Amino acid sequence: MIDEDARVTRQPVTETEARRANRGWWDGDADAYQAEHGQFLGEVDFVWCPEGLREADARLLGDLAGRRVLEVGCGAAAATRWLATRDAGVVGVDLSAGMLRHAVAGARASGVRVPLLQADGLALPFRDGVFDVACTAFGAVPFVADSGALMREVARVLRPGGRWVFSVTHPMRWIFLDDPGERGLLAVHSYFDRSPYVERDAAGVPTYVEQHRTVGDRVRELTAAGFVLRDLVEPEWPAGHEQVWGQWSPFRGRLFPGTAIFCCVKAPERLGVKPPEGPV
């Protein structure tokens, strides 16, 4: 997560700066992002990561029929639409109007229509305990300054025993240069430096912000919010997969993980609730 451009820094920003920067970034970049990655992500599909792991194969969310499901940071909502085809009652939320515009277009093209809301992951517009499952694939979690608050907000809208599954850049990747080739094997940062990656405009205003947390930080955030961590999935780079996505590449992917998927349930033991059946 480093660039030699002087407008790229590693230093703290406020929650307001992060929110403003990332809403502006994703609104402005939505067309380019969808043009570059839309085919890989599909119109009606749930892809967890650049390694290509699909929910249809991984079943990290368990049986979805009849479940109320929230996708946080749904982007163009390909995963939200896929969830709807599994007979789930699903809602997709995203901060970016630009990405939701592509979500509406995707619904029109696929014929799979789902409820969509423009909302902040730190202030979800739902009552307590109304969802059975919450999920996100690289949405929301890396982009908020207070990700602990996000974990608490997700816990609030989940019923006891509900699942929370999210994928993020593997924390160890923050040690290295953001490069898919050999240069990307050079460790340049301390793993313990939590300073976010920040891109700024000519006036010094943040235009893109991505946050780093260690594995231990994530575990502490989750447990403090009332979650029990059931699995940490580190998808291996599959044979025959040659697509490069930013820093993700076959070269690096065969050496060390690029994605971490945290699989949790909302404190079922503590609340005396039986955990959901199936893989977690």
Cα–Cα dist 59/56, whole Å = 6
- Residue 127: is its pLDDT beyond 60? yes
Specify whether the CB–CB gap between 38 and 75 falls below 8 A.
no
Residue in the structure block whose two tokens are 């447990």: 223
Please classify residue 196 by burial: count the beta carbons closer than 10 Å to its beta carbon, then call 0-12 exposed, 13-18 middle and 19+ buried: buried
- Domain 7-266 sits in CATH at 3.40.50.150
Q: Give the C-alpha distances (Å, rounded to integers) separating 276 from 47, 133, 163, 164, 264.
A: 22, 10, 8, 12, 11
How far is C-alpha 126 from the geometric centre of its chain's CA atoms? Answer: 20
As a whole number of angstroms, the distance between CA 226 and CA 161 comes to: 10
Residues in a beta bridge with 70 = 91, 134
| Contact partners, residue 176, CB within 8 Å, separation at least 6 | 184, 185, 186, 187, 188, 189, 247
Of the candidates 141, 143, 198, 185, the residue with the CA atom closest to the CA atom of residue 166: 141
Among candidate residues 251, 249, 243, the one with its CA nearest the CA of residue 39:
243
Query: What's the pLDDT tens digit per position in 50-91?
Result: 999 999 999 999 999 999 999 999 999 999 999 999 999 999
Three-class DSSP category at 138: coil
Q: What are phi and psi of 71, to 5 degrees?
A: -100, 120
Domain ranges of the chain: 7-266
DSSP class of residue 47 equals: B
Q: pLDDT digit string (tens) for 92-105? A: 999 999 999 999 99
pLDDT of residue 5: 55
At 155-184, the pLDDT tens digits run: 999 999 999 999 999 999 999 998 999 999
CA–CA separation, 83 and 215 (whole Å): 28
Q: To 10 degrees, the CA torsion angle through 133, 134, 135, 139?
A: 170
Mean pLDDT of 251-262: 96
User: What is the enclosing helix (H) or strand (E) of 206?
Assistant: strand 206-210
Task: Read off the pTM.
Answer: 0.92
Within 138-213, residue ranges assigned H as helices are 147-157
CB atoms within 10 A of CB 17: 16
The order of strands in the sheet holding 8-10 is 8-10, 197-200, 206-210
Q: Tell me the mean pLDDT in the region 18-33.
A: 94
